[in-house]
Amino acid sequence: MRTPVSHRVIASAAASLAAALTLSACGGSSNSEAATISLENCGRTVTLSGPAERGVTLNQGATETALSIGAKGQMAGTAYLDDTIAPQWQAAYAEVPALDEKDFPSREALLETKPDLVTASYSSAFDDKAVGSHESFDDLGIATYVSPFGCKDKSKRPAVAWDSIATEITDYGIMFGREDEADAVVAQMRETLTGIEAAAPAKGKSIFWYDSNTTTPYVGANAGGPQLIIDAVGGTNVFAGTDGSWADGSWETVLAANPDVIVLADASWDTAEEKKNYLRGDPALKDLKAVREDAFVVLPFSTTTPGPRTIEGASLVAGQLGGDGA
């Protein structure tokens, strides 16, 4: 699993990415002006009287997108972590009140922050079982936004691509009046991607993206963050024939493919170590080439949610294939 030259390219690109994103998280210039803001989101129109000043983010992906453009001073609260906030944004994150790090906050706790904007990565946030519907916030004059990749109406979801990730980051720049900062994050993402694609450390390798579950593996399919990352590093997804971002796979397919590499998503609800132990302990799976050779790549689940950390996920996969190990 070594491609030393590509590793140097990737390490340099990753270092530049972290530096740029840290700079954005610390603040910087903003072209915010008190003018009405309006943009389309999942078939709805999001309207603000000016850049958000008390935004609340309800998923880790939404939180990190806001932090990536330096909006910490305009955030009144955060919620619901999948794992750990990226190092480059931890200091900024610590300055924003965490309403509930393990789940959505209660509607009452959310409204106590007096938000002017509430954003989420998944439409499940805007459910009566969570914080309430979009319409219920409209009635209070509070704008709401959900990641385009999480639109409740799946027909309105864009294809997961680097361009559509850039669009969501740009949306955050518009809503927080930080378009210059959003442009900088997108530019750095594209620069890093170019370096990873040129190195192609997984060229000629088959990859099994193992997200969670044991009886039926939940896998990275052909149309989400995992596939974007696999494509970036030049590998072949053993579940490329399965539609969706993530999907139920089958151990029969994994055994037949006998992948060269297994990517393990590390999440609070299903850790990478738990998945390694399962693979090594199963009578059939323990004989897979990747298991025998310890060809595991580990990355935080949060890097697979389309957003500013997806490129970090690609960098982590590329770097481990380039010789860092898992």
Dihedral, CA atoms, 163, 167, 170, 171, nearest 10 degrees? -170
User: Residue 152, exposed/middle/buried by CB under 10 A (0-12, 13-18, 19+)?
Assistant: middle
Euclidean distance between CA atoms 316 and 245, whole angstroms: 19
Q: What is the pLDDT of residue 19?
A: 46
Q: What is the pLDDT of residue 269?
A: 87
Euclidean distance between CA atoms 106 and 58, whole angstroms: 11
Q: What is the pLDDT of residue 218?
A: 97
The residue with tokens 């993206």 is 209
CA 177 to chain centre: 22
Q: What is the pLDDT of residue 35?
A: 85
In order along the chain (326 residues), what is the average pLDDT of each group of 10 residues? 37 46 46 77 97 97 97 98 93 97 96 98 95 97 97 94 97 98 98 96 97 97 95 97 95 98 94 97 98 97 91 96 54
Per-residue DSSP letter, 267: B
Q: What is the pLDDT of residue 259?
A: 98
The residue with tokens 């750990």 is 84
